[in-house]
Amino acid sequence: MPQRQSARDYAILVAFEAGRTLEQLAGDYGLKADRIRTIVIAERNRRIISPEPFYRSLRQAKSNLSASF
């Protein structure tokens, strides 16, 4: 089974949220648009629930931004 491409997957999510379309990202990464959609959904879910320190720090940063307003 291939190793998960964490940095690539997160970069895909960031690019998608910045306005790139699924089709554009598919071309950029040599993947099908359906695979890009799956990656975006999985990364959004990880951001919400993952116990990994990277994702916890993202959640904490987001809550700190929300609390400062």
Structure confidence by residue, pLDDT tens digits, 10-60: 999 999 999 999 999 999 999 999 999 999 999 999 888 888 887 788 778
CA-to-CA distance for 43 and 52, rounded, in angstroms? Answer: 12
**Spans of all domains in the chain:** 6-67
Q: Which residue has the higher pLDDT, 66 or 60?
A: 60
Sign of the C-alpha dihedral computed for residues 43, 18, 26 and 54 taken in this order: negative
